[in-house]
Amino acid sequence: MPTIVVDVMPKAELLDPQGKAVSGAFSRLGVDEFTSVRIGKRFELTVDGEVTDDILAAAQRIADEILSNSVIEDVVGIEVVE
Amino acid sequence: MPTIVVDVMPKAELLDPQGKAVSGAFSRLGVDEFTSVRIGKRFELTVDGEVTDDILAAAQRIADEILSNSVIEDVVGIEVVE
């Protein structure tokens, strides 16, 4: 069944305390390959049947209105995965 | 700067209460396009400089050991985004 993947990340200009915590853990564990970490959400919406333009439009709408908080988050990607 | 994106999802055989809650909200709001919702995490690791095979290997290692809990989660994707 096709799946629509919606990616939501904290806005770039905001602090991401969860990401900062992981970044701090990296330092303590001696992982120095990565300069920063940000943590967002990945939603997998299962569609029963074909993904039509209407369903994609619905996904875009709920991504903006329900799955993300536009004050602090951006929807960074919506893609169809088979 | 290049970014390595690590996607982590709850294992398919496990309940995902967060996803179930969103799915329930969809029903109440009259959204009927999607049969199920699962919610995972998306990590963006920033790399200073080029992404070498060593850095990718390090990303794979920390994805398995630090960013995911292999008892309840799967690493479903590691990809480099410019």
Q: What's the CATH code, domain B3-81? A: 3.30.1280.10
Q: Is A37 on the interface with B (CB under 8 A)?
A: yes
Of the candidates A61, A13, A37, the residue with the CA atom closest to the CA atom of residue B31? A61
Candidate from A26, A29, A43 with C-beta closest to B37: A43
Domain edges within chain A = 3-81
Query: How high is the ipTM of this complex?
Result: 0.93
B57-70 confidence digits (pLDDT tens):
999 999 999 999 99
Per-residue pLDDT of chain A (82 residues; tens, 9 = 90+): 899 999 999 999 999 999 999 999 999 999 999 999 999 999 999 999 999 999 999 999 999 999 999 999 999 999 999 7
Q: Hey, are the CB atoms on B35 and A4 less than 8 Å from each other? A: no
State how far the Cα of B50 lies from the Cα of B6, in Å rounded to an integer: 17
Candidate from B29, B40, B46 with C-beta closest to A42: B40
Cβ atoms of residues A21 and B14 within 8 Å:
no
Q: Is A43 on the interface with B (CB under 8 A)?
A: yes
State how far the Cα of B59 lies from the Cα of B75, in Å rounded to an integer: 11
